[in-house]
């Protein structure tokens, strides 16, 4: 196939953009992200302040194709990306087989059919690819096939790409230009980034303390009881390390044996556990600091999600809700994973166009 030698104009639109994890990955790889869509208006400040892109507060079901096409206007290459919220893909939702629960991904499919972008990317939880439990992913793949996309997807183990947390995600990329795939892994178990690599030099804090230099670097206040518990917790250990009087009744039951990670400390020499929307509390997983008697802070959680240390989440001097920001950070696509997707698309484009793209 003869290559087109004209300089290409490329624009990206991010659906379900949140505070900009996926978008920022593309921005760091020099892509022109022109707009992000999300139903949660509280994401606007972080998204726009860090990405020089328009935040559109809108329900994806109310987004018309003409609106998306207007963002792309005169671009040669249209890239549509997104991570539909993963709550619909819970175990309960799989059992219910209620198609309404999959509506967000079906809306993504609708826009793909109507907009016909040249390249798309979709990131989500691995469970989505369980074909035998729901038709939603099969339907999504069929939409791509029926609209002449070549598709590639895999379950990504995030540490393999330099993301310092044990997170697995389904990543799909598809193109009308031809075959496409993710770039090769960049790290092995011997070179995984660890907790110490990422937060080892952070300012030490006590329970309930807030950094004077960075209000996002704040430790949740522990109760007297939980402070006793974390003082008896060991790196990589569990509630089993505590004196019996500190243990919860539910832990003493037979079913409690499955909750070994709650109230646990991270280990310095391993990647962090998966960041969740509750990652700044010690009772929701192994989110205790390896040495300090506290849970990790919002800023520490954000760098585990590979946001830059200076990423602006809130306006200077304005109050904010810790729970809201914890949800934003836990729900975000890791920035580095966004870069991996963007780099993969860049490699793909260079195969088809001789000019720098």
Query: Does some domain include residue 5?
Result: no
pLDDT for the residue numbered 262: 74
Tokens 């914890």 sit at which residue? 326
Rounded to whole angstroms, how far apart are CA atoms 37 and 20?
10
Rounded to whole angstroms, how far apart are CA atoms 34 and 26?
11
Query: Does some domain include residue 18?
Result: yes
pLDDT for the residue numbered 89: 46
**Would the pLDDT of 345 be above 90?**
yes
Interval 184-189 mean pLDDT: 98
CA 272-337-302 angle, to 5 degrees, is 45
Query: Does some domain include residue 357?
Result: no
User: In this structure, are 163 and 39 located in the same domain?
Assistant: yes
pLDDT for the residue numbered 354: 62
- For 112, list phi and psi in degrees, rounded to 5: -60, -45
**E-assigned strand segments in 224-286:** 272-273
Question: At 125, is the secondary structure helix, strand, or coil?
Answer: coil
pLDDT for the residue numbered 240: 81
Q: 78 with 11: CB under 8 angstroms?
A: yes
CATH number at residue 180: 3.40.50.150
User: In this structure, are 176 and 210 located in the same domain?
Assistant: no
Mean pLDDT of the chain: 90
Residue 130 Ramachandran class (φ > 0 left, ψ -120 to 50 alpha, else beta) = beta
- Cross-strand partners of 171: 123, 154
User: In this structure, are 181 and 32 located in the same domain?
Assistant: yes
pLDDT for the residue numbered 129: 86
Q: Band of the pLDDT at 285, cuts 50, 70, 90?
A: confident
User: In this structure, are 317 and 338 located in the same domain?
Assistant: no
pLDDT for the residue numbered 283: 83
Interval 19-35 mean pLDDT: 98
**Would the pLDDT of 97 be above 80?**
no
What total of structural domains would you count in the chain?
Answer: 2
pLDDT for the residue numbered 45: 98
User: In this structure, are 223 and 302 located in the same domain?
Assistant: yes
- Residues identified as active-site: 86
pLDDT for the residue numbered 257: 54
What percent of the chain stands above pLDDT 70?
A: 87
Query: Does some domain include residue 4?
Result: no
Q: 241 with 234: CB under 8 angstroms?
A: yes
pTM for this entry: 0.91
**Would the pLDDT of 243 be above 90?**
no
Q: What residues make up the domain containing 207?
A: 195-331
User: In this structure, are 146 and 245 located in the same domain?
Assistant: no
Report the range of poorest mean pLDDT among 69-73, 203-207, 254-258, 320-324: 254-258
What percent of the chain stands above pLDDT 90?
A: 76
DSSP state of 184: P
User: In this structure, are 175 and 212 located in the same domain?
Assistant: no
**Would the pLDDT of 25 be above 70?**
yes
Which tokens in the block code for residue 64? 């018309």
**Would the pLDDT of 26 be above 50?**
yes
User: In this structure, are 30 and 91 located in the same domain?
Assistant: yes
Measuring CA to CA, which residue among 178, 179, 177, 161 is closest to residue 169? 161
Give the side-chain half-sphere CA count within 13 A for 91: 0
User: In this structure, are 156 and 235 located in the same domain?
Assistant: no
**Would the pLDDT of 207 be above 70?**
yes
**Would the pLDDT of 254 be above 60?**
no
**Would the pLDDT of 94 be above 90?**
no
**Would the pLDDT of 335 be above 90?**
yes
Rounded to whole angstroms, how far apart are CA atoms 250 and 119?
49
**Would the pLDDT of 101 be above 80?**
no
**Would the pLDDT of 165 be above 50?**
yes
Q: Band of the pLDDT at 325, cuts 50, 70, 90?
A: very high
Interval 171-191 mean pLDDT: 98
pLDDT for the residue numbered 252: 58
User: In this structure, are 161 and 241 located in the same domain?
Assistant: no
């Amino acid at each position: 196939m003869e290559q087109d030698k004209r300089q290409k104009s490329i624009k990206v639109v991010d659906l379900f953009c949140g505070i900009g994890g996926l978008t920022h990955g593309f921005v760091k790889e020099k892509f022109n992200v022109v707009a992000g869509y999300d139903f949660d208006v509280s994401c606007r400040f972080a998204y726009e302040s860090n990405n020089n892109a328009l935040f559109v507060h809108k329900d994806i079901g109310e987004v018309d194709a003409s609106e998306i096409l207007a963002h792309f206007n005169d671009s040669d290459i249209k890239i549509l990306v997104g991570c539909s919220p993963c709550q619909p893909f819970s175990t309960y939702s799989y059992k219910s087989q209620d198609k309404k629960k999959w509506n967000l991904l079906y809306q993504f499919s609708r826009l793909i059919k109507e907009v016909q972008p040249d390249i798309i990317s979709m990131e989500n939880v691995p469970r989505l690819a369980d074909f035998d439990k729901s038709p939603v992913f099969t339907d999504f793949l069929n939409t791509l096939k029926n609209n002449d996309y070549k598709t590639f997807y895999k379950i990504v183990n995030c540490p393999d790409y330099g993301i310092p947390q044990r997170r697995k995600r389904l990543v799909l990329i598809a193109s009308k230009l031809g075959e496409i795939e993710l770039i090769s892994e960049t790290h092995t178990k011997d070179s995984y980034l660890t907790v110490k690599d990422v937060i080892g030099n952070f300012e030490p804090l006590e329970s309930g303390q807030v950094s004077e230099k960075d209000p996002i670097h704040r430790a949740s206040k522990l109760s007297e009881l939980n402070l006793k518990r974390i003082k008896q917790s060991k790196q990589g250990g569990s509630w089993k390390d505590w004196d019996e009087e500190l243990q919860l009744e539910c832990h003493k039951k037979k079913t409690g044996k499955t909750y070994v990670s709650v109230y646990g400390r991270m280990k310095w020499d391993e990647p962090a556990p998966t960041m969740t929307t509750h990652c700044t509390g010690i009772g929701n997983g192994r989110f205790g600091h390896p040495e300090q008697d506290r849970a990790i802070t919002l800023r520490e959680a954000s760098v585990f999600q590979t946001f830059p240390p200076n990423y602006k989440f809130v306006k200077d001097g304005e109050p904010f809700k810790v729970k809201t920001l914890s949800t934003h950070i836990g729900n975000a696509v890791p920035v580095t994973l966004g870069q991996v997707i963007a780099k993969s698309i860049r490699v793909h484009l260079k195969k088809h166009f001789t000019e720098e793209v």
